[in-house]
C-alpha cells in the first residue's frame, strides 16, 4: 500500500510545558498547499512555509500519566458563559459574532486579528478577571499568560475543550481540529507528515488566513479512546498462552497507523504475525524476540524494529510492550 515509505511516525511525547496550538490539513488541502508553496519558490526548510510535504497528519495520543490537552471548539453558549465569568467586557460587542452557522469562525478570526493595543488590553482584562477563579480553565489560562504574555492564544482554554487524560486513555485528532498538548507524557503516533498550521503559543511561523481555511469550526463532544481486547493477526502456542498474552488496541479511522499494547506472560511464548513494518517499545520488563535462528533481548526502555518480511516472530518475557504498525482500511 505504501511502497518503501514508512507511513507513520511514533514518538514518546513529554510536554513539560504547553506546546503550540495547532491543527493539520486533510489530504486534499496538504497536496494543494504543498504545490502552492512550491510554486511560490519557498525552500522546504523556509521558516515562513506552511506545508512541508503533501500528506495529511491525523494523530493519536495515549497518556502514560495524567495528561492535559486542548481539543476542538467548545459550544458557542459555553464560550459565552466562560467569557462572562472572566468579566471580559471588551468582548461584549464581539460575542454576538458567535451566533449563526459561521459564528465560531467569525469570533475566532476577530480575536486572532486584533490590533496590538486591543489585544494587550484584552489580555490584561483576562488576567484580572481570572485572578480569583479556581476552575481548571482559569488555572491553565493564567499559566499561559505567564509564559506567553501578549499572545492572544492564551485565551484558548475558554474557547477550546479542556481534556484531562488518565494513563491509558487516548485522543484521536483528525484534520482541522485545533489542539494543544499542555502537560504530561504520552505515546503519539501519526501519519508521516510535518504539516503543522500553528495558532499560537509559539515563536514559529503563523498564517492566520491559511489556518482559517483548514480549521473545522464546529463543536464536537470529546470522545476518549481506551484500549480494547483485539482479535488481531496474532496467535499464541496454546489457548492458555493466548489468555495470558493480553493484546489490546486503539481503534481509529486512520489507515496509516495502528497502536497496540501487549502484556506478556513469562510462562508462555507468544507468536506475532506481522502484516507490515512494526516498532516494539518496551515500557517495563524484558522481552526475548526469536525469529528463525536469530534472537534479540529487549530491556525496559528499549525499541525494536521488525521489517514486514519477518517470519515466525515469537515473543517471551514479562514485559509491557507498545506496538506501532500500519493500520487497516476502514469504511
Whole-number Å distance between alpha carbons of 279 and 283: 13
Residues facing residue 163 across a β-bridge: 69
The catalytic position among 198, 216, 314, 316 is 198
Active-site residue, 127 included: no
Q: How far is CA 16 from the centre of its chain?
A: 16
- Residues 286, 299 contacting (CB under 8 angstroms): yes
Residue 229 in grid coordinates? 481486547
- Residues 248, 229 contacting (CB under 8 angstroms): yes
Strand, helix or coil for residue 72: strand
- Residues 317, 289 contacting (CB under 8 angstroms): no
Strand, helix or coil for residue 57: coil
Report the b/e string of 129-154 with b at 16+ CB within 10 A: bbeebeeebbebbbbbbeebeebbbb
| Strand pairing report for 303-306 and 278-282 | antiparallel
Whole-number Å distance between alpha carbons of 255 and 218: 24
- Residues 234, 321 contacting (CB under 8 angstroms): no
Whole-number Å distance between alpha carbons of 38 and 324: 32
Residues facing residue 14 across a β-bridge: 185
Q: Which residues are catalytic?
A: 198
Amino acid at each position: 500500500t505504501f511502497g518503501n515509505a514508512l507511513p507513520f511516525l511514533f514518538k514518546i511525547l513529554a510536554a513539560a510545558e504547553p506546546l503550540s496550538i495547532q491543527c493539520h490539513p486533510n489530504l486534499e488541502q496538504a497536496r494543494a498547499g504543498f504545490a502552492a508553496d512550491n510554486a511560490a519558490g519557498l525552500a522546504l526548510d523556509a521558516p515562513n512555509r506552511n506545508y512541508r510535504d503533501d500528506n495529511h497528519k491525523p494523530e493519536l495520543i495515549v497518556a502514560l500519566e495524567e495528561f492535559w490537552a486542548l481539543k476542538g471548539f467548545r459550544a458557542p453558549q459555553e464560550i459565552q458563559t466562560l467569557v462572562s465569568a472572566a468579566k471580559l467586557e471588551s468582548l461584549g460587542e464581539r460575542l454576538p459574532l458567535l451566533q449563526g452557522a459561521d459564528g465560531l469562525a467569525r469570533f475566532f478570526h476577530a480575536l486572532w486579528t486584533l490590533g496590538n493595543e486591543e489585544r494587550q488590553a484584552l489580555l490584561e482584562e483576562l488576567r484580572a478577571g481570572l485572578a480569583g477563579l479556581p476552575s481548571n480553565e482559569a488555572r491553565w489560562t493564567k499559566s499561559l499568560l505567564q509564559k506567553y504574555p501578549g499572545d492572544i492564544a492564551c485565551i484558548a482554554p475558554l474557547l477550546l475543550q479542556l481534556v484531562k487524560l488518565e494513563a491509558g486513555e487516548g485522543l484521536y485528532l483528525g484534520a482541522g481540529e485545533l489542539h494543544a498538548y499542555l502537560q504530561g507524557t504520552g505515546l503519539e503516533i501519526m501519519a508521516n507528515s510535518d504539516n503543522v498550521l500553528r495558532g499560537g503559543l509559539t515563536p514559529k511561523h503563523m498564517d492566520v488566513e491559511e489556518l482559517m481555511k483548514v480549521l473545522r469550526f464546529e463543536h464536537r463532544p470529546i470522545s476518549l479512546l481506551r484500549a480494547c481486547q483485539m482479535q488481531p493477526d496474532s496467535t499464541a502456542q496454546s489457548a492458555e498462552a493466548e489468555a495470558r498474552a493480553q493484546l489490546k488496541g486503539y481503534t481509529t479511522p486512520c489507515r496509516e497507523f495502528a497502536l497496540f499494547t501487549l502484556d506478556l506472560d513469562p510462562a508462555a511464548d507468544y507468536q506475532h504475525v506481522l502484516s507490515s513494518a512494526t516498532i516494539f517499545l518496551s515500557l517495563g520488563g524484558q522481552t526475548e524476540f526469536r525469529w528463525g535462528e536469530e534472537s534479540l533481548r529487549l530491556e525496559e526502555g528499549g525499541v525494536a524494529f521488525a521489517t514486514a518480511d519477518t517470519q515466525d516472530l515469537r515473543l517471551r518475557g514479562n514485559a509491557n510492550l507498545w506496538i506501532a504498525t500500519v493500520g487497516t482500511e476502514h469504511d
